[in-house]
Chain A
Amino acid sequence: MLGILRRIWGDGASGQVARKRMQFVLMHDRIDITPDMMEAVKNDIIKVLSRYMEIDGGSVKVDLEEGKDFMALISNVQVKRVYRHSTSG
């Protein structure tokens, strides 16, 4: 019976399918980032990058994006000029 179902669904052992799906679902459930927190992340990114380059602070965007089985933080920053000597340290 299970053999028939497996042929219909055309994939491997359902335990592994469940495990992979749960990894993704739980990661999502646990990530409970408030807009305030996203704003703080954005400001920290600006702060760190500004040590190395001149950036357009107003252009910075930070988003969480879903991949098929991962989650990515995507940030887009317009760089105006990279400092010749890093100001860090």
Chain B
Amino acid sequence: MAGKTIVVTSGKGGVGKTTTVANLGTTLAKKKYNVVLLDTDIGLRNLDVVMGLENRIVYNIVDVIEGKCRKEQAMIRDRKLSNLCMIPAAQTREKNSITEEQMKELCSSLAAEFDYVIIDCPAGIEQGFKNAIAGADTALVVTTPEVSAIRDADRVIGLLEAALVRQISLIINRLNAKMVKKGDMMSTNDIIALLSVPLLGVVPESEEVVVSTNRGVPLVHDRSSKAGAAFRGMAARLNGESIPLDGDSRGFFGRMKRLIWD
């Protein structure tokens, strides 16, 4: 059976797409699935540094598409998980060096071999976006609780629907619970009501994200991280497991259970 092809997109830049791809991919690989991450942000490659794989790059996605190498040659294996790999974006090429047709072909050939193909989409709604979504059957739209990010997310959801991407769900990143409590940030429910797309999960604003990016080690490797727990919950739901949404921010009981079971 063919694997799932999932594009992580947002419209607005800097909202957490690359962070999401790295953490969902790592979690699914830890669950023993075969996972390939595809960086389609041509010209602004980043997934490699977030994954800590920047010094192993030889070939990139454009080389694969232009037939300069086989796709296996461009796949960089993760340092910890042998069933996780990444195809980097080209750094010195243009977004229109590849076409939607070519992306579709690449995605379906990857989906034949992997359980999960996770695509990191560039910001914007131009050719790079169109390429990134061309071969995807599922889209995860990332937004932060801010007006400009939400507006861009709404636009992107419209474009995804027009492109007949069947499954669309929402990820809210960088939620600041204290600000929501004070009434100075839109709540999860406010955002869901505005965008009317099912919610996959909520990631808190967290310094841990910055630290893990600095180190090039995805957050989900750290069992004690709260933001990491949010990504693990999302990966589980993506995988069809019925983990309740509020289980991500574990209270005392959740922590006890973890101590017992882990």
Contacts and interface: CB of A to CB of B under 8 A. Distances in A.
Interface of A: 2, 12-16, 18-19, 21-23, 25-26, 29-30
B183 A23 contact: no
Contacts, number: 43
A14 B183 CA distance: 7
Interface stretch (B1-9, B77-85, B148-156, B250-258): B148-156
B147 A18 contact: yes
A26 B151 contact: yes
**Interface residues of B, dominant DSSP:** helix
Given A14-B185, A15-B187, 4 more contacts: A13-B183, A14-B183, A15-B186, A22-B147
A12 B182 CA distance: 11
Contacts of B187: 15
B210 interface: no
**Interface residues of A, dominant DSSP:** helix
A15 B185 contact: yes
Nearest to B189: A19
Contacts of A22: 147, 150-151, 186, 194
B154 to A, nearest CB: 5
A12 B184 CA distance: 9
Kindly list the 9 A-B residue pairs having the minimum CB-CB distance in the complex, ordered from nearest.
A13-B183, A19-B190, A14-B184, A15-B183, A15-B186, A26-B154, A15-B185, A22-B194, A18-B186
A80 B180 CA distance: 57
Contacts of A19: 186, 190, 194
A15 B180 contact: yes
A15 B184 contact: yes
B155 to A, nearest CB: 7
B183 A25 contact: no
Contacts of B150: 22, 26
B25 to A, nearest CB: 31
Contacts of B195: 26
B158 interface: yes
Contacts of A30: 154, 158
